[in-house]
Structures are given as structure tokens and as C-alpha cells.
Amino acid sequence: MRVVAMIMAGGEGTRLSVLSEKRAKPSVPFAGKYRIIDFTLSNCVNSNIFDVAVLTQYRPHSLNDHIGIGKPWDLDRNRGGVRLLQPYQGRNDQSWYSGTADAILQNINYIREQRADLVLILSGDHIYKMDYRELIATHLAKNADLTVAVMHVSLEETDRFGIMTVNDDDQVVEFTEKPKARDKGTLASMGIYVFDAKRLVERLRETSSQYPNLDFGKHVIPTMIANDNVYAHPFSGYWVDVGTVQSYWETSMELLDPACTLDLFDAEWRIHTRSEERPPAKFGPQSKVEGSMICNGCVVRGTVEHSVLSPGVYVSPGAVVRDSIVMTDTWIGPGAVLDRVIVDKDVVIGANVQLGVGTENVPNRLQPDKLTTGISIVGKGAHIPAGISIGRNVVIASDCDEDQFNGDVASGESI
Amino acid sequence: MRVLALIMAGGASPSLSALTAGRAAAATPFAGKYRIIDFTLSNCVNSGIYDVGVLSQHQPRSLHEHIGVGKPWDLDRLQGGVRVLHPFPTPDGGGWQRGTADAIRYHLDVIEERPVDYVMVLAGDHVYKMDYRPLLDLHMQRGADITLAVHSVPPHEAYRYGMVSVDGEGRVTKFEEKPRRTSSALASMGVYAFRKDYLVDLLYRDQAVDFGSEMLPRIVNEANVCAYTFNGYWADVGTVQAYYEANIALLAETPALDLYDPEWVVRTRSFERPAAQLGAAARIERSLLCDGCRVDGHVSGSVIGTGVVVGAGAIIRDSVIMPDSVIEPGVVLDNCVVDKQVVIGRDCRIGEGSIGTPNAAQPQLLNTGLSVIGKAARISAGHTIGRNVVVTARTFVDQDLASGETF
């Protein structure tokens, strides 16, 4: 039984604002030292799946860099291993991936070359730990053509998910994308599918002639429910799609709660990542740290409360970081105060900067639908001049220089 | 310039007490996430030397596992790379190595077949960051047979080192191994550069077993031996006290050994662990903390290794704790070196009482109040352990231990 995993990692993730401006969403840092895709990649190798393709499209550099030849996941193999599949030009056509299923369709050769019996389609932007062997066991036991991992959601939330309606045998009888009505059941598709390889190829070919932007949820799955054996595999563990700034922030903060069910310390299910070699985190005599996650290479001489610090973050004396997420190699100047901010990598925050002050009630003017809860975001490589104060729901663009600031920044503004 | 580096990592270092009962000194954890040999290995690759042999003998398993195929140092190479050179029995039943020169003589065939011009012999149990290239440049310029790296040491420490006297041109005129009294203040660092053909010839011709104690004192008169003075941080952490002090020195605001220098990264085999997690009641100051730690207690003035758990209400002061040890809630730990995978039960008090009682078995070694807990030892809840105590590896302590005891 040969299983190949194909991880969809091409999405732009526009709702993550500047965090995914320069990188694909799966490559957004998470929990200090990880990238979001590490969870899916680690699930693969921990489930003994060593044939993994990563399909990229939007801003792939950071992701390519991160995955490299797959060493951290032991995917640098002679046989199998990790393969990055990017859109390519052919003699008769050249096309970007226009949908999830279209991306797979364009890489059908990979499935064929690997002589796969089963194809596992995964999303690169979910946070969860899952043993895919159980899903595959269900698939085989039911003699299914397609098995979809599902989880129970509350009835009020069903309009945010693709809902699978099943019969007593867990066979899927109907699939409704974001149903308004509450009568479709509460089993939400997790975007994790295992297909019989032959049937997948067959169905992709058939449906592609009808739909140009071939998508699993919209086209392939409904067709297969009508014609093939499609089953649901219920999953009950921790699973989050960190699709928005708010959910990204909440999920990160949740990790600081001792009751969080996502156990990163589980020695039986390690999350692997590409770690740079960094010395231990250092705490100075003035440091005060509580309820936080701190990575190697950090130097903390100030106060850190309820925050996540990636490797190499420097917190100067007198600085306060509260309810915030600070990514790799950011420098926080003396006396700076950060409250409810997400700071990307390589940012310099000048001395005595007040970041995240004032009222939460002014949504971001340019992205009023995304930033309304008081979280401010600083893009990668921005330099914030000393002494200014910056409000809430503010977005500072990547690589912003000090001279682009004109004094204080009010809540809801963007630079 | 083609250079082979040979790292001497076979030593037993009995002065490291329980820390080297089950491992070579070079494999002793240091600064939370490193092994001592990482400094020498990183020096090699940071100096552009990618052809490295590691000579092992005493308790090599931990060392071999750490080095593996040399991935962390980019020494997993087709040309050169790292290879572990371990003794093997000779037909007459011998084969154990009796000294540094003996060890290298033993692997002379490996050296002869390497396409190199120079051979560096390095100690695997020293902590320092050194670019070997200036030393090699000097060695070549002077056309020396041997060039020794030297470092100044205070006179009262001279008895621990090979002491070197140098003339106005930087030529070594005298080499005294561990002298009681000497006029020299320059200690040999155990870092030697040889012309390869000179080394091969020397080892065939001279049957002495050790460079420092036998060969060098003799040959400084006949060969062209030069000294290269190294002024950076260098510590021979060959005793428990020196080991402890070198760790604690890292907590200074600007320590002499800068681990945060991106131009000279010290590399190690890191295990994949999540970020350190500090609970709401945690307090930490003047300390190093590695990935994978979970701290709910109070840590000050300490070096905490990867994956250490510090329970609620526990207090750790001025201690070195190696990876994956568990300090249960309510423990008070003062002035200790705790090896890996140790479990200290609830409400134990370790390092309590008077400093004035040296360790009965090793009074020379343990007399400053430092207690040592060996690897994977377990101390059951509620016990009090004094100062200058040694708990040997893999023991189960179910009693109080007074100061100076060895269990």
C-alpha cells in the first residue's frame, strides 16, 4: 500500500494581513519556533508517510527555504522524501493553479510516478496533530473511494464550514458548503481527504472538462458523493484553521493556557521544524517573565507577560511585552511597551515606543473586516522610530522605514 | 592548505566526578544545550577545517551518538567530514591507548592516507572559541615543525597545565608538564599544529605515549617548536568546580564567552523541542533557559538545560541543571550540578547546610559547597541533602545525606 501525501500550500491567506504579505500562509511562524506547515509535515512523517509533495504557488520563497530538502522531517531520502511542486509551463499550456483540485490535476504525473495506491490531500495551514493511519484504516475498512476527515462543530458554527451529512454507516450522503439552514448535521470537513488514486485521477479528468477552476469542495467531492463510496472519518482532537489575524492571535494565546489540549511537549508526537542553531535564552537580572513561551536565542532584560517570543528576540531593560506575539530576531528598545500586538520578524522597535494604546473600537480603516478587535500588526523588517505611540487595530507595512512615520499613529490607521 | 584536525576525546577526566562516570569528558553537557566537544568541533568548521577525526576511548557511546554522521557541523561530507576513531584490539590483546601520542600513533594509517599537509591535534574537553587559521598561518610562515597555542594562566594554576617558556622570537625553549613551580605564565592549551610529515616521522621514531608529559619536554630542544598566543576566552573545564564556574560565568551581563555571536555560531545536535514555557507563577532572573523547559517555580543564577521541568514553588539558585531533569514542586536546590534525567522528589532540599565539610571521598575536588547529582539518579520526596555531596549515577536515594557524603 503506497500512500502519497499532497499538501496544499499555495494559498495567499489574505486575511492574515501583513503576516502573509511576503510569504505563503503555511510558512507563517507559529508558537515561537514553528511554521504552520510543520504540523502537517510532522503529522505525515509521524504517520510513517515519507512520500510528500508540497504544492506551492503564492510567494513560495520563504516556504522553499524552510522545507529545503526536508532534513528536519527526515524527508531527505533517496526513495520518496519531500518534493516541492510549483506551477510550470508546458509546451501547449501554461497555467497557474486555479483551484485545489486543479493543482492536483496538473501534478497527476507525480501520483503516477510514485505508483500511489492512495492519495492523501492535506492543507498546509492547519494546526493539529493527527495520525493519518487511522484515517487510512477507516478508508480501507469501508472500501471507500474517498474518505473525508470530519469533526463535530457546534450548531451555531455550521455556517462557517463545509458540512458533511452522513448516514448511520458514516457514509456521506450530502455535502453543503457553509449551509445557512441548520439541518445538515454538525460534521465539518477538515479539508483532509484520502482518495483511491485511480478513482481520483479518473474523477479529476472527468470534472475538469466541466469546470475551469476545479475545486475539491465545490466540484470533485459533490460529484463523487453522487457516484462513488464516500465516507466520513470523525476526528476529535485539537484542530484549528488559523485563517484570520484574530484566530491566529487567539490560538497562540491559547497555547499559554496550561489547559490547552495541543500538547507540543508530547515526546510521542514531536513537531519537527527547521531550527537555526541558537544559544539558550538568557534572562538578565531585571527580567520578569510569566505565562509565556520563550525560544532559544532570546535575551530578556525587561518584562514579558503572557506572550510568545520566537528565537532571537531581544527585550531591552524596562520594556514591557504583554499579550503579544513577537517573531524571530526582533529588537525591542528600552522602555517600549507592547500590548496586544503581533510583530513579525526582524522588526526594530525604538526606545519608549508605545505600541497598542487607546481604544479598541476603531477598526482598521483599510481592512475594517479583518482588524476590529484591538490587535495591531507590525510587518516584517519594519523600523519604528523611538518615542512614538501607536494605537490599536493598526497595520504597519513590511520594511517600513523610520522616515515613513509622521509622529504618533492613531488607532485604525495603516502605514 | 589542507588540514586534518584530530580531536582527543578519549579522556576519562575523573576530576569531573559523577559527571563522567558514564561518558567521556568531551561529551559532558555544557551551557544547557551543548556538549563540551561542540566548541572544538565548531572551531574546526568555523575555521574552514572540514576533515576531522575524533579519537574516543573512555565511555564513548554518548559521544558517538552525539557526533553521528556530523550533520550539525556540516561534517556529513563525501570528501573529508568527521570520522570517529576508536581503539581496537591488537593481536597480542593490547590496543588501549595510553596517551595522546599513543592514540594518534594508533591511527597513523588514517593520517598517512589523508591528502593533507598539516595535522592539528586538539583537546576535546576545552571551552573556547578560536579561529585556528592565524595559528596555521604562523606555523607556515615560521616553517615550524610544531606550533603550540598558549594562554596565560595564574601561577597557582600552573600545576594543572603544560607550561611553556618562549624566547624573543616566539620559539618554545622549554616545556614543563604540570610543574609545581615555574617562571613561565604561559600554559599549553593542548592545541597543536604539526607538519604532517614531521608528525608521522616523529611517531614512528619516538615511542613515547604522551605529547605533554613525555614528548614535548624532550623535543623542544631539537625541533622547531613555535608558540601562538591566544588571548580569547579559554577554559579547561576538567574539574567539577571549573565546570560549574564556566557555566555560571555565562550569566554575566557581557560574558567573556559570547554564545550569541552570529559570526561564530557554536553548533550542536539539537533535539526538536518546543519553546520554553513559563507558567503564570514562574520567576526567572540571571539565568539561561533552553527550549523544551517548563518552569513554574523560581530560577535565579542558574543554567537550565533542554527539557527541564521546574515544578510549582520550586526554587533553584546558582545551579547547573542538565537536560530532561525533573525538579518537582516545592524543591529547594542551591549550588548544585544536576546531571541529565535526574528526578528530584517533592519538597527535597538539596545543598543545605554548612560549606565547611568537604566531600569525604574527594576532599580536593569538592570543598566549595557544590553538590553533584549523577545522571538519572532519583531522590525520593522530602529528603535533605547537604553540601559537597556526590550522588552517583542511576541511584535511588531514599534517605537524607549529610554534607560531605557520597552515595
CB–CB of A288 and B291 under 8 A?
no
Least confident segment among A241-245, A267-271, A296-300, B249-253: A241-245
CA angle, A282 then A285 then A290, to 5°: 70
CB–CB of B33 and A283 under 8 A?
no
Interchain CB contact of B285 with A (< 8 Å) = yes
Asked if residue A267 belongs to a domain, the reply is: no
The interface predicted TM-score (ipTM) is: 0.83
State how many domains chain A has: 2
The pLDDT-based confidence of B212 (bands split at 50, 70, 90) is: confident
Asked if residue A209 belongs to a domain, the reply is: yes
CATH number of B291's domain: 2.160.10.10
The pLDDT-based confidence of A80 (bands split at 50, 70, 90) is: confident
Domain boundary pick from B249, B266, B290 = B249
Residue A92's pLDDT is what? 63
CB–CB of B274 and A277 under 8 A?
no
CATH number of A395's domain: 2.160.10.10
The pLDDT-based confidence of A71 (bands split at 50, 70, 90) is: confident
Interchain CB contact of B98 with A (< 8 Å) = no
C-alpha cell of A271? 513537531
Residue A193's pLDDT is what? 94
The closest CB to that of B285, out of A287, A294, A308, belongs to: A287
- Which residue from A minimizes the CA distance to B34? A279
Rounded distance, CA B386 to CA B400, Å?
8
Asked if residue A193 belongs to a domain, the reply is: yes
Query: How confident is the model over A139-165, as a mean pLDDT?
Result: 91
- Which residue from A minimizes the CA distance to B307? A265
Asked if residue A24 belongs to a domain, the reply is: yes
Asked if residue B340 belongs to a domain, the reply is: yes
Least confident segment among A31-40, A360-369, B73-82: A360-369
Rounded distance, CA B96 to CA B110, Å?
17
Closest CA to A304 of A287, A285, A321, A329: A321
Interchain CB contact of B114 with A (< 8 Å) = no
Asked if residue B315 belongs to a domain, the reply is: yes
Q: A400 to chain B, minimum CA–CA distance in Å? A: 25
CB–CB of A284 and B253 under 8 A?
yes
Please check whether residues A71 and A197 belong to one and the same domain: yes
CATH number of B90's domain: 3.90.550.10
- Chain A segment 110-169 residues within 8 A of B by beta carbon are none
Query: How confident is the model over B337-355, as a mean pLDDT?
Result: 93
Please check whether residues B42 and B173 belong to one and the same domain: yes
A192 pLDDT more than 80: yes
The closest CB to that of B290, out of A284, A289, A296, belongs to: A296
Rounded distance, CA B70 to CA B79, Å?
13
Beta carbons within 10 angstroms of residue B193's beta carbon: 26
Q: Which of A204-218, A401-415, B379-393 has the highest mean pLDDT?
A: B379-393
| Residues pairing with A65 in the sheet | none
Least confident segment among A356-365, B156-165, B170-179: A356-365
Chain A, chain B: beta-carbon pairs less than 8 Å apart: 110
Within 8 A of A286 by CB-CB distance, chain B residues are 285
Rounded distance, CA B237 to CA B25, Å?
9
Please check whether residues A319 and A355 belong to one and the same domain: yes
Please check whether residues A312 and A215 belong to one and the same domain: no
* CA dist list (Å): B81 to A309, B50, B67, B121: 35, 5, 11, 16
Closest CA to A396 of A361, A359, A353, A333: A353
**Domain limits for position A237:** 3-254
Please check whether residues A214 and A328 belong to one and the same domain: no
Please check whether residues B241 and B326 belong to one and the same domain: no
Please check whether residues B283 and B243 belong to one and the same domain: no
Please check whether residues B108 and B230 belong to one and the same domain: yes
Please check whether residues B245 and B368 belong to one and the same domain: no
Is residue A412 within 8 Å of A363, Cβ to Cβ? yes
Asked if residue A413 belongs to a domain, the reply is: no
A45 pLDDT more than 90: yes
Within 8 A of A284 by CB-CB distance, chain B residues are 253, 285-286
CB–CB of B260 and A294 under 8 A?
no
Please check whether residues B25 and B147 belong to one and the same domain: yes
Please check whether residues A177 and A294 belong to one and the same domain: no
Domain boundary pick from A201, A234, A254 = A254
State how many domains chain B has: 2
Closest CA to B304 of A238, B282, A399: B282
- Chain centroid to Cα B315, Å, comes to 28
Asked if residue B158 belongs to a domain, the reply is: yes
Within 8 A of B268 by CB-CB distance, chain A residues are 277
Q: B220 to chain A, minimum CA–CA distance in Å? A: 40
Residue B20's pLDDT is what? 87
Interchain CB contact of B268 with A (< 8 Å) = yes
Asked if residue A120 belongs to a domain, the reply is: yes
Within 8 A of B277 by CB-CB distance, chain A residues are 256, 265, 292-293
Least confident segment among B78-82, B294-298, B366-370, B380-384: B78-82
Rounded distance, CA B386 to CA B355, Å?
9
Query: How confident is the model over B77-90, as a mean pLDDT?
Result: 86
Within 8 A of B324 by CB-CB distance, chain A residues are none
The closest CB to that of A277, out of B270, B279, B286, belongs to: B270
Residue A56's pLDDT is what? 87
A43 pLDDT more than 70: yes
CB–CB of B288 and A281 under 8 A?
yes
Please check whether residues A248 and A323 belong to one and the same domain: no
Interchain CB contact of A83 with B (< 8 Å) = no
CB–CB of A265 and B274 under 8 A?
yes
**Domain limits for position B359:** 277-397
B144 pLDDT more than 90: yes
What average pLDDT does chain A have?
90
CB–CB of B274 and A291 under 8 A?
no
Closest CA to B66 of B259, B268, B247: B268
Please check whether residues B135 and B207 belong to one and the same domain: yes
- pTM greater than 0.90: no
Please check whether residues B329 and B242 belong to one and the same domain: no
- Contacts of residue B383, defined as CB under 8 A and 6 or more positions apart, other chains included, come to B345, B348, B349, B397, B398, B399, B400, B401
Interchain CB contact of B33 with A (< 8 Å) = yes
Asked if residue B339 belongs to a domain, the reply is: yes
B94 pLDDT more than 80: no
Residue B255's pLDDT is what? 92
The pLDDT-based confidence of A89 (bands split at 50, 70, 90) is: confident
Residue B13's pLDDT is what? 78
Burial zone of B319 (CB within 10 Å; 0-12 exposed, 13-18 middle, 19+ buried): buried
Asked if residue B256 belongs to a domain, the reply is: no
Query: How confident is the model over A95-123, as a mean pLDDT?
Result: 87
Residue A52's pLDDT is what? 94
Q: What's phi and psi for B166, nearest 5 deg?
A: -125, 140
Please check whether residues B150 and B48 belong to one and the same domain: yes
Residue B176's pLDDT is what? 92
Please check whether residues B244 and B282 belong to one and the same domain: no
Within 8 A of B273 by CB-CB distance, chain A residues are 265
Within 8 A of A127 by CB-CB distance, chain B residues are none
Asked if residue A276 belongs to a domain, the reply is: no
CATH number of A113's domain: 3.90.550.10
Residue B338's pLDDT is what? 96
What average pLDDT does chain B have?
92
B93 pLDDT more than 80: no
Interchain CB contact of B215 with A (< 8 Å) = no
Q: A111 to chain B, minimum CA–CA distance in Å? A: 31
- Which residue from A minimizes the CA distance to B260? A279
The closest CB to that of A280, out of B277, B280, B288, belongs to: B288
The closest CB to that of B284, out of A283, A293, A299, belongs to: A283
Please check whether residues B220 and B140 belong to one and the same domain: yes
pLDDT digit string, tens, across residues A347-380? 999 999 999 988 777 888 888 877 888 899 999 9
CB–CB of B289 and A280 under 8 A?
yes
Q: What's phi and psi for B396, nearest 5 deg?
A: -115, 115
CB–CB of A290 and B279 under 8 A?
yes
How many C-alpha atoms does A50 have within 13 Å on its Cβ side?
12
pLDDT digit string, tens, across residues B254-268? 999 999 998 999 999
CB–CB of A279 and B279 under 8 A?
no
Is residue B47 within 8 Å of B133, Cβ to Cβ? yes
Asked if residue A410 belongs to a domain, the reply is: no
Please check whether residues B245 and B296 belong to one and the same domain: no
CB–CB of B274 and A264 under 8 A?
yes
Q: What's phi and psi for A347, nearest 5 deg?
A: -90, 145
| Residues pairing with B82 in the sheet | B52
Interchain CB contact of B286 with A (< 8 Å) = yes
A93 pLDDT more than 70: no
Please check whether residues A89 and A191 belong to one and the same domain: yes
